Amino acid sequence: TCRPYLTHAIEECVKGAQQGGVGLIAYSRKEGRALGEVTKFLVYNARKRQVGGDSADKYFLRTECVAGVQDMRFQELMPDVLHWLGVKKIHRLVSMSNDKYDAITHSGIEVGERVKIPDELVPADARVEIEAKIAAGYFTDGSVPDDVKLAATKGRGLA
């Protein structure tokens, strides 16, 4: 989901700048939750090959089985670049990560509004990740999927 979220954030930055504001993208490349590209591809492969195929209800479990942890990112350092740039307030934060939001706000930067990616911008094969993240407590302004919906949300198979 990184690509559609980043694309949406860029579009929101352009809109903000066109309305007289400032658009800023602070992108930190942390492939596969900072587990690295090889581990990321091992996880993707394991998700597609698991019994029943890729599903939202097993999204984080598969990462933990392969890597031993769900996420290695250390978001507490992420706001440093924003402070270096002199950012005091983010009017519209385009991120569903509560860890990023918490790191930003706990560092003293005010966040006005959190912006959800519109459903129509999420590719069908990214629904597994989005639904799993929302069920795990990531930001949404919509409904949280229950266990039945999570199990029913399937990704691409091996085909």
How far is 117 from 139, CA to CA, in rounded Å?
10
Question: Which member of 33, 71, 99, 114 is catalytic?
Answer: 71
H/E element holding 89? strand 89-93
Annotated active-site residue 71? The verdict is: yes
Question: Which member of 57, 62, 73, 119 is catalytic?
Answer: 73
Angstrom CA distances, 23 to 5, 13, 14, 95, stand at: 15, 4, 6, 14
How far is 79 from 84, CA to CA, in rounded Å?
9
How far is 1 from 5, CA to CA, in rounded Å?
6
Annotated active-site residue 73? The verdict is: yes
Beta bridge partners of 55: 154
DSSP result, 6-17: HHHHHHHHHHHH
| Residues known to be catalytic | 71, 73
